[in-house]
Amino acid sequence: MPKDIPSYPPSENDPLVEGCRHQIKKTQKEYLKGVGRQTSDSIDISELNGGLFSAMDKCLEADPEETYFFFNEAKLRANVELLREHFLPDMPDRRRIIYAMKANPKSKVMKVAADAGIDGFDCATYREIEKASNYVPPSGLFFNHPIKKLNAVKRADKKSVRYFTVQSRSGIENVLKGTFPAHEGDLPEIVIRLQTPNPDARIDLSTAKYGASEKEAREMLRYLNNQRVNAFSGLSMNVGSQNTNPEAFAHGIEYMTRIAKEEGGVCSINVGGGIPVNYFEDDNFDRVAYLQRISQSIRDNLEGVFSQNAIEPKIIIEPGRCIVADTIDLVIPILERKDRENSKGLYIGDGIFRSFSDSVIHRDWRYSFNVIPKDGRITEGEEEMFNLYGESCDTGDQLIGVSLPADVREGDHLWVRNAGAYMSAQASDFNSPDPSIFVPYNSKS
């Protein structure tokens, strides 16, 4: 068990626990009962300004059977600030730092990101566009799923969206149709998503499903640049999610900018997302080093990339995971333990249909579990393999072979750190479980 995890309940003099839990316990109980749970699936305890352990303590005390997402607003602001400090700080007018909202579209998360200075949102669908338009002006809406219904383009056009990603000639025609008649000075930008090799990514976002080949991209750029088409042109790339090799970005940027230069220039380039998160103790990805490498590679290759008609040249980065993953901790109740002859099982208040769908979608995706013991006992020492049984009644709803302290028991909690990206966002309502409770708080630590 990592050292910074307190036993639960925390001891009186545990320096990690902020605030005085005994004095405020009663107030908290009343607060949670009266204000939070009955009115929505979200409890806002941020005015109490406690840290993570304080928030956990209060919530588990008030209701230990619920599943909680603890969201640190201050951490999200710091993540945005880090991007602003290290992604092309020398080009503030050209760069656009946008948040891939699919990672976590919770309203509170989007609002904090927007207030922290994000320039816009990478949206995959019209409904995402609609939601994002509550937080940013139309110039901050980037419609990036390469396949779009004509109707979605038309509705986005009505919202004044001007940035559309495609991967084929028919995609270009779709955007031209959906934005017709486009007026001089208000033309749509049609961005071609390039297939970019991403062998070092945990999730392939480029070669497996989306993207245009170099030949296709060049033909499309020629069409957009040389025919009298009523649109600006752009290029985008994506080196996959959780990419463990910063050089993959540099290679992608070199490839994308070379095509742009040789085809008469573009109005924008987009380097995608994919910056990795440190999920496990052995992970040692340096986010600053990634941003510096990406920025340097853009600087090295930028000359001649933008076309003459680029009125407002843009360089876009659109991470999701590295903005939100480490801002959220997931705490799940263990509802029952059952040992059988050949296996040990824990029935938990979450599952494959909720936070852990990636274990099925991206088959070998793993999670880092900690245990919060209910009675303050020490759980260090021997570990055993457990099956985690999800709370739906589907037998396929299980995570097999999770190593946990041997004496883990009913009433303890599982704690998953870095749970902000692609977990709650992918949850379904299958079996209508009680919704997880979202608990925003502010802590600089």
Ligand X SMILES: Cc1ncc(COP(=O)(O)O)c(C=O)c1O
Q: Could you tell me how many helices (H) and strands (E) the chain has, helices first?
A: 12, 18
The nearest distance, CB 281 to ligand X, in angstroms, is 21
The footprint of ligand X on this chain (CB under 6 A) covers a number of residues equal to 18
The nearest distance, CB 99 to ligand X, in angstroms, is 9
Nearest residue (CB) to ligand X, 195 versus 241: 241
The nearest distance, CB 231 to ligand X, in angstroms, is 20
Considering the rule CB under 6 A, would residue 287 count as an interface residue with ligand X? no
Nearest residue (CB) to ligand X, 319 versus 373: 319
Strand partners, 164: 143, 190
List the Cα angle 194/289/196 in 5-degree steps. 10
Contacts of 372 (CB under 8 A, 6+ apart): 5, 7, 8, 56, 60, 331, 412, 413, 414, 415
Cis peptide before 197 (omega within 30 of 0): no
The nearest distance, CB 276 to ligand X, in angstroms, is 8
List the Cα angle 137/193/302 in 5-degree steps. 80
Considering the rule CB under 6 A, would residue 171 count as an interface residue with ligand X? no
The nearest distance, CB 148 to ligand X, in angstroms, is 13
Tell me which of 55, 62, 103, 315 binds ligand X, using CB under 6 A: 103
What's phi and psi for 399, nearest 5 deg?
-105, 120
Quick note: the x/- pattern for ligand X over 344-383, rule CB under 6 A, is: ----------------------------------------
Tell me which of 46, 72, 144, 370 binds ligand X, using CB under 6 A: 144
Nearest residue (CB) to ligand X, 70 versus 290: 290
The nearest distance, CB 365 to ligand X, in angstroms, is 13
Q: Which helix (H) or strand (E) holds 250?
A: helix 246-262
- The 3-class SS string of 172-186 reads HHHHHHHCCCCCCCC
The nearest distance, CB 100 to ligand X, in angstroms, is 4
At residue 10, what is the residue type? Answer: P
**Region near ligand X per CB under 6 A, out of 12-20, 259-267, 271-279, 389-397:** 271-279
What's phi and psi for 172, nearest 5 deg?
-60, -45
Nearest residue (CB) to ligand X, 54 versus 144: 144
Nearest residue (CB) to ligand X, 273 versus 440: 273
* CA pair distance 11, 28, nearest whole angstrom: 18
Considering the rule CB under 6 A, would residue 252 count as an interface residue with ligand X? no
Cite the DSSP H helix spans in 35-92: 52-62, 73-86
Nearest residue (CB) to ligand X, 291 versus 322: 322
Nearest residue (CB) to ligand X, 14 versus 200: 200
Q: Which helix (H) or strand (E) holds 389?
A: strand 383-389
Q: Quote the tokens at residue 152.
A: 């979605």
Exposure b/e, 204-216, CB count within 10 A at least 16 = b: bbbeeebbbeeeb
Residues within window 297-326 making contact with ligand X, judged by CB under 6 A: 318-322
* CA pair distance 55, 77, nearest whole angstrom: 19
The nearest distance, CB 321 to ligand X, in angstroms, is 3
The nearest distance, CB 238 to ligand X, in angstroms, is 5
Tell me which of 10, 178, 211, 273 binds ligand X, using CB under 6 A: 273
**Region near ligand X per CB under 6 A, out of 50-58, 97-105, 126-134, 400-408:** 97-105
Q: Of how many residues is the chain composed?
A: 445
The nearest distance, CB 167 to ligand X, in angstroms, is 11
- Most distant pair of Cα atoms in the chain: their distance: 73
- Residue number, nearest CB to ligand X: 273
Nearest residue (CB) to ligand X, 57 versus 318: 318
Instruction: Please report, as ranges, the residues that interact with ligand X according to CB under 6 A.
Output: 100, 102-103, 122, 144, 205, 238, 241, 272-275, 318-322, 421
